[in-house]
Structure 1
Amino acid sequence: MMQLALAALLALPIPLPDSTPPSHAQVLEIPPELRAQLHQRVPGSVAPGARRLELLVEFVFSADGLALEYGNSTTHTVADAWRTRQVNCLSFALLFTGLAREVGLDAYVQEIDQVLAWHQQGGIVYNSSHVNVGVRFGQRRKTVDVSRAEVMARHRPEQVADERALAHFYNNRGAELMAAGDSVAARRHMEEAIALDPRYATSWNNLGVLRMRSDDAIGAEAAYREALALDPTHASALFNIVGLFRRAGDEANAMHFQRRLERAQLADPFHQFLLGTQYEGRGEYERAVEHYRRAIRLHGDEHRFHFALARTWLLMGERRRAGRALARARELGDDDSRALYQAKLDRLRQDR
């Protein structure tokens, strides 16, 4: 979980994270015990760099190493991630990048801005982007991703500056504190995120949600508009500003931004995919096919889109079409999914 883009709903209390903003150094500090373990498992004399990376990955993930566990957990500092062994993608990226640099690797945080990863907690909808780690060896690059194949992404990851990575930390912490009901600490974290990277639209959107929840509609509108000036298709900011104007009874402005939101959603393959799953779940298969096919037109390389289409064709009794979609899913899938799709395709052919 990272780059949390919030959509305002009713607030429910959840456990309160630490409310004191850590310094930049505290966020990235590698505890002495962890540093000692690292150099024991990944000695600096090991060459070339690719071998050091292999040893580092083994140390981070193996049962006799850090044995990190991935999930939508609290955004931790490097030290807290080491102590708890619990990481979301941002905590992992900060920890792994720091350890990689400690053993002489050219590592950096990478950002994937459009992914299908969202959840609801504490009365707030979180629309999450994703980060992982890149490691450079001359002209070659390797990617280390704690989520494995769980994240559905539209674009390849891009390197971001350390300031952006730190801004994500404070932005995430701010969102977590807001959901926990500590608006003062949340504001301090969000303002730190904006100070580090004022051109990141999601931080402005989240500040708008905080202001709205603090009954500052004027401040919320200003923050949403700043987010949209930076990213005119930012779906969360559009959703939030529509709600703001609707609550104020300003239907003209609400409709203006609603049309902008609908245009953004039409161009978003993940939104179309989610609509398809909703219609499929309700048994409205023709509508589901319509949205799955639109998702594929927008982002045809995602194997799970083709598999969803195949599943819906099969529910409609369209076995030939289902077979074609399933074959395409198999072509595009990774090693794990390809075997599953092949087995389903074989079964479909046998049934014929």
Structure 2
Amino acid sequence: MKTPENSGLPEIKRSHFANRPRFQPRRIAACTAIAAVLLAGCASNPVDPPAPTDVGWLLSGQALFEQPVPRMALPEDDILGLSPEMRRYLAHVAPQASPQQRLAALLQGFENRDFTVQYQADQTLTASGTYREQVGNCMAFTVMMVAMARELGADAYFNQVEVPPVWGHEESQTFVVYRHINMVSESPRGRRVVDFNLEAYDPIYDQRKLSDNEAFAQYYSNRGLELMQQGQMVDAFRYLRKALDLRPGDADLWANLGALYSRNREFTAAEQSYLQALQLKSSHTIAMSNLERLYRKQSKFDLADHYAEKARFHRERNPYYLYYQARNAYEHGDYKSAKKQLKRAMWQYEDDHRFHFLMGLTNYRLGEFVDSKEHFFQAFHLADNASAQRVYMKKLELMEMGGVGESSPSRRTPGDIPGRYSVGPASLLGRW
């Protein structure tokens, strides 16, 4: 799901989950608890506690429109509905077989390009819309596959993958944080993952089953943000409001509503939306960062500094944020900075194979060959993703031969780093 971070731009968080690195911090209970205790003294200029937010006013849309938006005006998309064309196709998919065999046949048909979906980041569509248009993002693809699998009689549910956060500019006014979603089907044979890009899927990430209600809220939020970016503010509000009707306790959704109000210069409503997000989740760094920018625009510098410090405090204790910074430094040839950030990340959490893989590359670039080899071995043994293991084994073999890829250490090397999602047709869909 989309929500906005710290760059002077409003942040949004999207659940369409782009086919590029998308990162959401792993939850480390000890760090979270300590941060909550220490925050009381981390800001040099204490501020008065905010007044309670007026939730009814925020949800009414009156700050944007002359009158409240009635509930009957909210969208009711047929998210999992199947078109007659889809039903005809599915009726011929291994009709005499068991539900799991039919699902396997469906996935094989996709591999054979009986039907296709091309990745498009800004297309959160319904199941029938994805099938008809043959485009969609990860949310759209997952919606379509869940609907089709259930029609075949197979168990299928939405699965949220807590990937580490990556921040990417999609347009001049928006800084986007991505998360990832895929489909899981369980049977006595095991657990099958159906993903837009299974090569990049990694079981090491924390995951949780989403109810349909949670997934639908993320769908509506995505659509609202896409409409906002297209300048369709009335429809954008309607979709974001629908998301909050489904999940009023979701801090991400309130931060997204705040981004809409901020985009329309309704700063009081934006402030209250971000504060509501923080009431629901006190460590919500996106809401903190957006409040900082909001207060700085209004020359409320004490408040801006307060929330900037709170956001910095949480980010710098997030190992995946540190990993992201290290990867950027590595790609720009600043290997000493990359090593420094990776050491800080591993101090927080040392059991992610990506950290060791990047440290191995960084050590190699710095001429620290013994340490480099050790981190490559650590990466290989921590990874339980066959694709990642193949990459690591190849790097180890190259090291034995005296090289790791490029001949010039100064070249940027994004291809060296696993977990990058290529944009293109979905592939490698099912795995037990």
TM-score (norm 1): 0.88
- Between the aligned partners of 2:74 and 2:129, the Cα distance in structure 1 is 14
Considering fraction of residues, name the structure with more helix: 1
Which of 1 and 2 has higher RCO (CA within 8 Å, sep 6+)? 2
- Between the aligned partners of 2:347 and 2:260, the Cα distance in structure 1 is 36
What is the deviation of 1:265? 0.8
Match of residue 279 from structure 1? 329
Q: Which of 65, 71, 90 is 2:139 aligned to?
A: 90
Query: Does the Cα contact within 8 Å between 1:75 and 1:169 map onto a contact in 2?
Result: yes
Work out the percentage of aligned pairs sharing the same amino acid.
26
Match of residue 386 from structure 2? 335
What is the deviation of 1:322? 0.8
- Between the aligned partners of 2:325 and 2:166, the Cα distance in structure 1 is 14
What is the deviation of 1:10? 8.1
Q: Which of 118, 142, 149 is 1:69 aligned to?
A: 118
Q: Is 1:148–2:146 an aligned residue pair?
A: no
Match of residue 108 from structure 1? 157
Match of residue 298 from structure 2? 248
Q: Is 1:166–2:219 an aligned residue pair?
A: no
* SS of structure 1 residue aligned to 2:354: helix
Q: Is 1:137–2:190 an aligned residue pair?
A: no
Q: Which of 75, 78, 87 is 1:35 aligned to?
A: 87
Distance 1:63 1:141, change over 3 A: closer
Query: Does the Cα contact within 8 Å between 2:249 and 2:280 map onto a contact in 1?
Result: yes
Residues 115-161 of structure 1 deviation map (CA, whole Å, 9 limit, x = unaligned): 34443212211101111112122594332222214357874321111
What is the deviation of 1:210? 0.8
What is the deviation of 1:349? 2.7
Alignment of 1:176-325 (within 5 A): 176-325=226-375
What is the deviation of 1:205? 0.4
- Between the aligned partners of 2:10 and 2:261, the Cα distance in structure 1 is 14
Match of residue 9 from structure 2? 9
Query: Does the Cα contact within 8 Å between 2:164 and 2:321 map onto a contact in 1?
Result: no
Distance 1:260 1:54, change over 3 A: same
Match of residue 395 from structure 2? 344
Residues 55-94 of structure 1 deviation map (CA, whole Å, 9 limit, x = unaligned): 12223x2234212233424111111100122121111111
Name which of structure 1's ranges 128-137 and 326-335 shifts more when overlaid on structure 2: 326-335
Name which of structure 1's ranges 323-332 and 163-172 shifts more when overlaid on structure 2: 323-332
* SS of structure 1 residue aligned to 2:121: coil
Counterpart of 1:9 in structure 2: which amino acid? L
Where structure 1 has 5 or more consecutive residues not aligned to the other structure, the ranges are 12-19
Match of residue 76 from structure 2? 23
Distance 1:71 1:335, change over 3 A: farther
Distance 1:63 1:84, change over 3 A: farther
Counterpart of 1:202 in structure 2: which amino acid? D
Distance 1:100 1:260, change over 3 A: same
Counterpart of 2:134 in structure 1: which amino acid? R
Counterpart of 1:82 in structure 2: which amino acid? Y
Q: Is 1:80–2:78 an aligned residue pair?
A: no
Query: Does the Cα contact within 8 Å between 1:114 and 1:154 map onto a contact in 2?
Result: no
Distance 1:42 1:146, change over 3 A: farther
Counterpart of 1:5 in structure 2: which amino acid? T
- Between the aligned partners of 1:223 and 1:252, the Cα distance in structure 2 is 20
- Between the aligned partners of 1:194 and 1:114, the Cα distance in structure 2 is 23
Counterpart of 2:76 in structure 1: which amino acid? S
Match of residue 16 from structure 1? none
- Between the aligned partners of 1:81 and 1:131, the Cα distance in structure 2 is 16
Q: How many residues align?
A: 338
* SS of structure 2 residue aligned to 1:228: helix
Where structure 2 has 5 or more consecutive residues not aligned to the other structure, the ranges are 12-72, 404-432
CA RMSD of aligned residues (A): 2.4
What is the deviation of 1:350? 3.3
What is the deviation of 1:300? 3.2
TM-score (norm 2): 0.73
Residues 227-270 of structure 1 deviation map (CA, whole Å, 9 limit, x = unaligned): 11222222221211111111111122122212221122123222
What is the deviation of 1:184? 1.5
* SS of structure 1 residue aligned to 2:124: coil
* SS of structure 2 residue aligned to 1:176: helix
Counterpart of 1:41 in structure 2: which amino acid? V
Query: Does the Cα contact within 8 Å between 2:10 and 2:290 map onto a contact in 1?
Result: no
